[in-house]
Structure 1
Amino acid sequence: MDFKDTLLQLADKIAKQKEAIQTEEATKASFIMPMIAALGYDIFNPFEVIPEMDCDLIKKKGEKIDYAIMKDDSPILLIECKHCKQDLNLHDTQLQKYFVASNARFGVLTNGIEYRFYTDLEKVNLMDEKPFLIVNMLDLSDNDIEQLKKFHKSYYDESNILSTASELKYTTEIKSILNKEFIFPTPDFVKFFVKQVYDGQATQKVVEQFTPILKKSIASVVNDIISDRLNVAIKSGEQQDVPTTQEATQPAVEDVLPDGVVVMDEKKGIVTTQEEIDAYNIIRSILRKHISADKIVYKDFKSYFAIGIENSSYWWICRLSFGSRKKLIWFPTEGYKSQEKIELENIDGIFDCIGKLEQAFDIANNAYEAYKNKHEKK
């Protein structure tokens, strides 16, 4: 099994077991030690991996780092571990103290799901405040795997990693800023675009007027990126292969659809609109940090448009009903025992429902995982 397959297998294990892990020690045993092994190190060889290595500080003795990866009798990577449900933002200063007391050039703070890699780009032997690489095992990309591979025992080259760490660090920071700006544009961000397209002065009132326009424009761009070759143009003759459970058939090239309609099933009375597809892609972009986007699917019904995990009929996250006068979105509550309805002014209103969307995702994901666990035991 190659490195990529090993990581993907571990990621699948984490997704299945994360709710059952109750302690930090269980996190280490189930998630972190397998990761160290995946990087090619023998977790039972003290010349390669030292658990609870002393990192005595000047003012406080007995400080220990959870794991130290060794090479030529010197630590090259320090790993500080937390429980898989812990917020890593609360623990980064602890790793900073250990980093100062060690000759290692790299430190990792992890809860077994998210791995934050640090080094000392700004000042030698003082750990940078921000990581140069963040990897989420529940949302692995090919680039993440390539960056992790650099820490594999067979490929480890300190100078090579350091040469790319600076670029990675700023790339990570910029991506984080863009993610926030795309969802909640700040006035300065809006002003940048206003100046490009508006001849007048960018007053507060103008910025307020352009904010929803910018959000809609961003959503449109994101939709194009994450739709994964979705091409709904009728001229193509068929709808591109996308991860959905859509059952309606694609009309022939010569068929003429009403403006804004993507797919029409006259027999079932189902009409799928571009607006529904746009809303679906917005929701995929929001939830992508929690689950792979290809697992979020849709199914259109006569009276509503359902979005869910794997099967939108069973594990639905929300249901849309977009009419000419009203745009409604329903969220499950109390474990599908009830529903909450919200009226949207337009599909950009989905961005104002992120909290409810994530709560609904938890309900759907818990139900989905429970179903999988039940059937895997049989």
Structure 2
Amino acid sequence: MAFSDSLASIAKKIRDMRDTVETEEATKNAFIMPFISNVLGYDVFDPSEVIPEFTADVGVKRGEKVDYAIFKDGQIQILIECKKIGDPLDLRYASQLFRYFAVTSARIAILTNGQEYHVYTDGDMPNRMDEKPFLIFDLLDIDRTLVPEIQKLSKESFDIDSVVSAAEELKYIGGIRRIIAAEVKEPSEEWVRFFVNRIYDGRATQRIVDQFRPLVAKALHQYVGDQVNSRLKTALGDDAPDPNRSTELASAPTPGQQPIGQAVIAESPVEDENVAVKGVVTTDEELEGFNIVRAIAVSEVAPERIHYRDAKSYLAILLDNNNRKPIVRLNLNGKSVKYVTTFEEGKDVGVRRDIESVVDIYKVATDPIRQTIRRYESGGVTSEIDTPS
């Protein structure tokens, strides 16, 4: 099994079982040991490779244990301290990692709750574990750019020099990315003033900064949406929708080859996927919303399985072009009110979620969209809705 496939497999297990795991020991057995074994490739039943409840008396601390010590080439290379799934990863509750790091040969320490992993080394001071991790990843929301770095921790690819040499850069890049993510979500005073000073000719008073705050937030959201659309178009090739395309009449395609998401004005009702019904125009904003939903859904299913059907008042997005598998409805054509409707388990009717711009779909509907698709994929209840055919 490829390394990325191993990550996907353990992620699916976490997604399916996390609600039934209630203790730290259960977390170890269900998620952490399989990660050590199936992802990193160490034999959890071979004490020459993995020792659970590892003890190394440190000073006045006697009998204190670290959850796992991983050996390679006869030396301790990695220490792992575990928490219960869902618990916050706070080093205040893992002081033994600091102590063991100083008295063993380990250069890597991991703090995990089975889903999230914080990886540390001694980049700031030799033989002393850094207070900040150089690598953070969440198995349910893995950043693909980090997969090669995670693989360096595996038995097959373990190279401590390579890991440590990349650690400083990873730590700073990760920190910068988290700052950017926080600023996109809610721009800080300093961030807003940065843009005001660049584009506003007058004095940046507090009133001006407050006026610019929603503008900066909106611009950032639109930029993120543009980048998502661009990446989807590249990934899907020529069949991807062009977000800059106007709602003009499309050139007639051959049967069964209608470009996905292409804006058209149909002259008669159609059955082909991803095209408009009679007299309905699929707007650029609706296409952008469709791309955003597809970007969210791609963590669960292949993007080509996400389809839309347009109506005058909303855009219905479906799994497998199936009326009984509605994912979300986009109501984006109102002049002042925009909202999305999600279809959630246990709800007799759709749940309305108001938005200010199409990019807000990420904020209000990411989890419901993914949960709905998982329900369909697991054979759960489907919903018959009135959808344009």
TM bucket normalised to smaller: 0.7 to 0.9
Q: Does 1:329 align with 2:334?
A: no
The whole-number CA distance in structure 2 between the counterparts of 1:212 and 1:79 is 43
The alignment yields a C-alpha RMSD, in angstroms, of 3.7
Choose the corresponding residue for 1:301, options 303, 310, 325.
Answer: 310
Structure 2, gaps ≥5 residues long = 254-261, 270-276, 381-389
Q: Does 1:168 align with 2:177?
A: no
Select the structure that is richer in strand.
1
Q: CA 1:173–1:14 in structure 2 vs 1: closer, same or farther (change >3 Å)?
A: same
The whole-number CA distance in structure 1 between the counterparts of 2:320 and 2:138 is 21
Q: Does 1:274 align with 2:284?
A: yes
Q: CA 1:343–1:212 in structure 2 vs 1: closer, same or farther (change >3 Å)?
A: same
The whole-number CA distance in structure 2 between the counterparts of 1:86 and 1:263 is 49
Q: CA 1:97–1:332 in structure 2 vs 1: closer, same or farther (change >3 Å)?
A: same
Percent identity (aligned): 35
2:31 partner amino acid: F
Q: Is the 8 A contact 1:28 1:81 kept in 2?
A: yes
Q: CA 1:304–1:100 in structure 2 vs 1: closer, same or farther (change >3 Å)?
A: same
Offset at 1:147?
0.5
Q: Is the 8 A contact 2:85 2:113 kept in 1?
A: yes
Q: CA 1:180–1:76 in structure 2 vs 1: closer, same or farther (change >3 Å)?
A: same
Offset at 1:69?
0.5
Match of 1:235 in 2: none
Match of 1:117 in 2: 119
Instruction: Give the structure-2-normalised TM-score.
Output: 0.76
> 5 Å matches for 1:211-222?
211-222=213-224
1:63 partner amino acid: E
Instruction: Give the structure-1-normalised TM-score.
Output: 0.78
Q: Does 1:32 align with 2:15?
A: no
Match of 2:386 in 1: none
Match of 2:211 in 1: 209
Offset at 1:197?
1.6
Offset at 1:132?
0.6
Q: Does 1:8 align with 2:8?
A: yes
- After superposition, the C-alpha distances for 1:56-111 in whole angstroms (9 at most, x for unaligned) are 444543221111111344321111122223232xx322334323223221111112
The whole-number CA distance in structure 2 between the counterparts of 1:291 and 1:113 is 16
Q: CA 1:139–1:345 in structure 2 vs 1: closer, same or farther (change >3 Å)?
A: closer
Count of matched residue positions in the alignment of Structure 1 and Structure 2: 350
Structure 1, gaps ≥5 residues long = 233-237, 243-247, 255-260
1:324 partner amino acid: K
Q: Does 1:140 align with 2:151?
A: no
1:66 partner amino acid: D
Q: CA 1:55–1:300 in structure 2 vs 1: closer, same or farther (change >3 Å)?
A: farther
Match of 1:99 in 2: 98
> 5 Å matches for 1:148-297?
148-230=150-232, 239-240=239-240, 251-252=250-251, 262-266=263-267, 267=269, 268-269=277-278, 270-280=280-290, 291=299, 297=306
> 5 Å matches for 1:61-72?
61-72=62-73
Q: CA 1:14–1:345 in structure 2 vs 1: closer, same or farther (change >3 Å)?
A: closer
